[in-house]
Amino acid sequence: MNLREGAGSMANDAAGSWIGFDLGGTKMHAVLFDGQYQVLARRRKKTRGHEGADAGVERICGIIEKLCDEAKLPLKSVAGIGIGIPGPIDMEAGRILGAPNLGWSDVPLKAILEKRFGCPVAVCNDVDAGLFGEYTAGAAAGSRTALGVFPGTGIGGGMVYEGRIYRGKHASCLEIGHTVVDPNGPPCGCGRRGCLEAVASRLAISAEIAKAAYRGQAKHLIRVAGTDLANIRSGTLAEAIAAGDEIVEEIVRIGARRLGIVLAGYVNVLLPDCIILGGGLVEALPGIYLDEIQNELKNRVMPAYTEQFEVKVAELGDNAGVIGAAAWARHQLSSTGPTTLPA
């Protein structure tokens, strides 16, 4: 992996090491980087969100301490910690507003970690972190406006505009997955109804495919996964399609097209020069997603816009979240000065 620096904003950073932390719904992934994004230490651990926020924060702290132990680096020499959270957050205060995948709400994570470790902490949304990673060292490098959409278990979205994560006054935003596509559609995890995520996420697609398998229309899939949704992973869908399950491919393509139709609306509003596709479904089936989405965009965006953007597949895999979280912490420190720390 060739890790390049993002455009300009980090040029005058002091050297030092940075921690990028990706707090996922099921696993934690954290990396201690040097100033050139070379990996000094890496840890992965299960999240166990159901054990509650206090226990979860302790697990986060334990990983950070182990990273420094492993690299034989004192914690006080860490220049900053960036952490991506699966859910909406108050980016200013570094507070988790609600993370349904973890079952946590209202956790002042920035304040807790700064007090514990004595170094500045930047908290962002995990999808924003992943896109900022691609902007810093991957497929979105050099773009002015990068729009990212990440279909997997849910459908995440994010945008980097002129080197910064685009956000509301306080909260993270770009919840593309919760664009309404069918006012009377199925209930969504957000509590509303008919969102894109409720019809085109891996869970939604897998539910359709499980029905087809039950009807005997997907013989390869039923052999490897049965009709249990928990066993129908993105990789399973790719295997079944490769083995010739046409109905699986058709259902996946319908989901990809619905995503493309929604994205066309966002392109008309935001005109990103770079659209990044990532997430579990795209990683497993990049050809289908690129094909269907590019086709919908070509046919649906304003004619004057059709040549003004590129659609690319994310390059960094699960390194995107940790690189992006660390890079965002660096960006915050270099553009606003060091965060005030408790005495």
Q: Which is nearer to Zn ion, 168 or 338 (CB)?
A: 168
CB of 265 to Zn ion, least distance (A): 16
- In the complex with Zn ion, the residue whose CB is nearer, 69 or 182, is 182
Which of these ranges, 130-138, 180-188, 269-277, 328-336, lies near Zn ion under the rule CB under 5 A? 180-188
CB of residue 198 vs Zn ion: minimum separation in angstroms? Answer: 6
Segment contacting Zn ion by CB under 5 A, of 8-16, 186-194, 264-272, 328-336: 186-194
Complex with Zn ion: residue 49 or 177, whichever CB lies closer: 177
How many chain residues touch Zn ion (CB under 5 A)?
5
The label of the residue with tokens 């003004």 reads 308
Please, what is the minimum distance in Å from the beta carbon of residue 192 to Zn ion?
5
d(CA 175, CA 155): 8
Give min distance, CB of 91 to Zn ion, in A.
21
Given the complex with Zn ion, which of 111 and 171 has the nearer CB atom? Answer: 171
User: Which tokens belong to 44?
Assistant: 């992965």
In the bound state with Zn ion, the residue whose beta carbon lies nearer, of 115 and 192, is 192
Residue 182 CB, nearest distance to Zn ion (Å)?
A: 11
Looking at residues 148 to 177 of the shown chain, list those that interact with Zn ion (rule: CB under 5 A): none
Among 195, 284, 285, 326, binds Zn ion (CB under 5 A): 195
Of these, 31, 68, 119, 188, which contacts Zn ion (CB under 5 A)? 188
Contact residue for Zn ion among 190, 254, 270, 290 (CB under 5 A): 190
Distance CA 60, CA 297 (A): 41
Q: Which is nearer to Zn ion, 109 or 204 (CB)?
A: 204
The pairing of beta strand 78-85 with beta strand 121-125? parallel
Nearest residue (CB) to Zn ion, 29 versus 178: 178
CB atoms under 10 Å from CB of 340, counted, come to 8
Q: How far is the CB of 201 from Zn ion (least distance, A)?
A: 10
Mapped to the 3 state alphabet, what secondary structure does 53-86 carry? HHHHHHHHHHHHHHHHHHHCCCHHHEEEEEEEEC
Give whichever of 29 and 258 is closer to Zn ion, judged by the CB atom.
258
Q: How far is CA 26 from the centre of its chain?
A: 13
What does the buried/exposed string (b/e) look like for 157-170 if buried means 16 or more CB atoms within 10 Å of the residue's CB?
Answer: bbbbeebebbbeee
Q: How far apart are CA 138 and CA 121, in angstroms?
A: 23
**Residue 258, interface with Zn ion (CB under 5 A)?**
no
Of 35-43, 145-153, 189-197, 237-245, the segment contacting Zn ion by CB under 5 A is 189-197
Among the listed residues 110, 178, 233, 258, the single contact to Zn ion using CB under 5 A: 178
Stretch touching Zn ion by CB under 5 A, among 194-202, 223-231, 268-276, 329-337 = 194-202
Which residues fall within 8 angstroms of residue 180, CB to CB, at 6 or more apart? 192, 193, 194, 195, 196
Cα(254)–Cα(76) distance, rounded to whole angstroms? Answer: 51
Residue owning tokens 């969102």? 195
Q: Where are the alpha helices (DSSP H) in the chain?
A: 53-71, 109-117, 126-137, 196-200, 202-214, 219-225, 234-242, 246-270, 280-284, 286-300, 319-336
Binding residues for Zn ion (CB under 5 A): 178, 188, 190, 192, 195
